[in-house]
Amino acid sequence: MADALARIVEGPIDRAELEAFATTSADGAVVVFEGVIRDHDHGEGVTALDYSAHPDAAAFLQTICDRVAEESGLRIAAAHRIGHLVIGDVALVAVVAAAHRREAFATCARLVDEIKAGAPIWKRQELADGATEWVGL
The pLDDT tens digits for 4-32 are: 999 999 999 999 999 999 999 999 999 99
36-74: per-residue pLDDT in tens? 999 999 889 999 999 999 999 999 999 999 999 999 999
pTM for the structure as a whole: 0.94
Name the band, by pLDDT with cuts 50, 70 and 90, for residue 2: low
Check whether 99 has a pLDDT greater than 60: yes
Residue range 4-127, CATH number: 3.90.1170.40
Q: Which residues contact 92 (CB under 8 A, 6 or more apart)?
A: 13, 33, 34, 35, 78, 79, 80, 81, 112, 115
Mean pLDDT estimate for the chain: 96
Q: What pLDDT is recorded for position 137?
A: 72
Residue 1 has pLDDT above 90, yes or no: no
The gap from C-alpha 18 to its chain's centroid, in whole angstroms, comes to 11
Q: Where are the domains of the chain?
A: 4-127
